[in-house]
Amino acid sequence: MNDNITYYTHLITKHFAGEIGEEELRLLSKWLTASPENENFFKQYHKTWLLIEKQKANESIDIEKDWNALQSKLNTHDKTGKPSKVIPINTNQPQKHTSFFTMQRVAAAAIILVSTFLLYFYFSKPSEIVVTARAENVEQLLPDGSVVSLHAGSQLTYPEKFTSKTRNVKLKGEAYFKVTHDGSKPFIVASGDARVEVLGTEFNVNTSSAEGNMEVVLTSGKVSVYYTEKPSENVLLLPGEKAELIADQKFIRKETNTDPNYMAWKTRVLVFDNESLGQVIKTLGNVYRKSIILTPDKLTECRVTASFDDQSLQSVMEVLKETLELQVKTNGDQIEISGNACK
């Protein structure tokens, strides 16, 4: 639901009162179609509004009747036998009293109405759960049975319950999704205005690019990737395919995935077949969450052929050091690699 609920409550009230303007009506209509929660709020508000209007009609104030009853009591004698003193007032202007009391009643009803709905949506709105993988990978079970593996340094946000027509989650960083199939409720991963939509499948999403781009690699099933402004320009992926969503151009590039290490951060299995040292270092930095620097730059063109299965970064570095005759120096959280350019 839109965060500015007070504003839209005001627009709904003006709509029911027949006082809403054309531009306000357009804004209200756009807000109502934005989510099922907003539509439900409108319907519940309408029911309460009708009840209050009915109550107002049943409880109309009769000032003249109330005044006569009060005057009758004041005319009774007190214990001394003397009649009570009556101070006359002008009863020829009941409309002013009626307007005052009516205004009070309507104002009170409006306050109760708004307060009730603010409290209703505060307590009924599903709370969000935020999972952050800090130094290590984290595996999280979602309310629908889907399993998400979060890479260290990543964050996942999702509702306590999937109550809307779609299962929406937000991702910052990298994660592997194993989604439970539900044909009636698509699963949507959001990062900025980029979306990955599925019914049930397995795929890897990486939003950690310095340029703000997102990469999706499909393992099984089928997914649709798109930008929220261009949903009709969605791109479908089949197993083994990769999509790169270029943020500044709102462009999606699809190709066959040729990187055998796209899930190495999760599996800790690394395979390099005549790969450049520059790419090897980039992969190791992502998998082990370390800053690795090569000097001189010519070292990036050295070629590496090796495989590692759940080995520590220190063990991997030792192999590279011996194979390519490199010098490896650890400086705090940073690893510096130097040596002669490969022939």
The tens digit of pLDDT for each residue in 136-187 reads 999 999 999 999 999 999 999 999 999 889 999 999 999 999 999 998 999 9
Residue-level pLDDT at 247: 87
Structural domain for 55, as ranges: 5-124
Which of 256, 289, 322 corresponds to the end of one domain? 256
Overall size of the chain counted in residues: 343
d(CA 228, CA 231): 6
Query: 17 and 106: one domain?
Result: yes
d(CA 194, CA 168): 13
Which of 76, 94, 124 corresponds to the end of one domain? 124
Q: How many domains does the chain have?
A: 3
Residue found under tokens 């307060």: 115
Residue 100 has pLDDT above 90, yes or no: no
Range with the lowest mean pLDDT among 149-153, 215-219, 295-299, 339-343? 339-343
In a domain, 343, yes or no: no
Total-model pTM: 0.63
On average, the pLDDT of the chain sits at 81
Query: 293 and 221: one domain?
Result: no
d(CA 193, CA 135): 27
Query: 132 and 194: one domain?
Result: yes
Residue 231 has which token pair? 């949903």
Residue 233 has pLDDT above 70, yes or no: yes
Query: 297 and 211: one domain?
Result: no
Query: 217 and 272: one domain?
Result: no
Q: How confident is the model at residue 91 (pLDDT cuts 50, 70, 90)?
A: very low
